[in-house]
Amino acid sequence: MVHHYVQNYYGELIILLGKAIFCVPPENSTLLARYFYLRGFMNTLCSKRLDALSDFQNLYKTDMEIFPTNLVKALVDSLQKDERSQADQRPELKRLIFKVKTDNEMVLVQADDHVKKFQLPKTHMLQEDFVKRIQESGIVKDVATIHRLFEALTVGSCKSDLGLDSAMRSPSNILH
C-alpha cells in the first residue's frame, strides 16, 4: 500500500515539474536544467525510461555540467525491446542513445581526453547544432550565453543557421 502512495507522489511531482518547466523562460537555462534533471530522475524512479531519457536529452542540450552520464547509460542498457524500438522512432532519443553508446566505447579506447580538439565549421549551422558544439567544446556551457553569441554572429543573415566560416572572414557581420 505504501508503494502505491509513493508512486502517486512521484506522479504528482512529475506533473508539477512539467508545469514548472513550461513556465520557465528559455533564458533561465540554469533553472530549466535543474527541473529537467529532477523530472528525469522522478521518471526513472517510476520506470518511465523513455520519458526519463527525453528529460535527460533536454538536460544535455541545456546544461552538460550536471548531465548524469552513468544513470543515462544504465537507462539505455535497461531498455526493453519495445522501448528501444520506440526510442529509435524518436530522433532526439536515437541521438542520445547513439551518443551514450559511442562515448562508452570511446572511454575504453581513449583514456586521456582532457584536451579537446575543436575546429570551426565550414558550412552553415542550425542554432541547435551551434549550441551543442559550443557546449561540447567547453568554451561556454550556459545556453543563454551561447544563444547571445549565436545572435551576435548572425546579425544581418539568416537567424536559423550560422555560417561561421563566412562570419569569420567578414568581421562587419559581427559588428552590427
User: pLDDT tens across 136-146, in order?
Assistant: 766 676 777 78
Backbone angles phi, psi at 141, to 5 degrees: -105, -30
46 CB-side CA count, 13 A? 23
Q: Which residues contact 39 (CB under 8 A, 6 or more apart)?
A: 14, 17, 18, 21, 55
The residue ranges of every structural domain in the chain are: 1-108, 114-155
30-57: average pLDDT: 93
Q: pLDDT tens-digit profile of 85-102?
A: 999 899 888 888 888 888
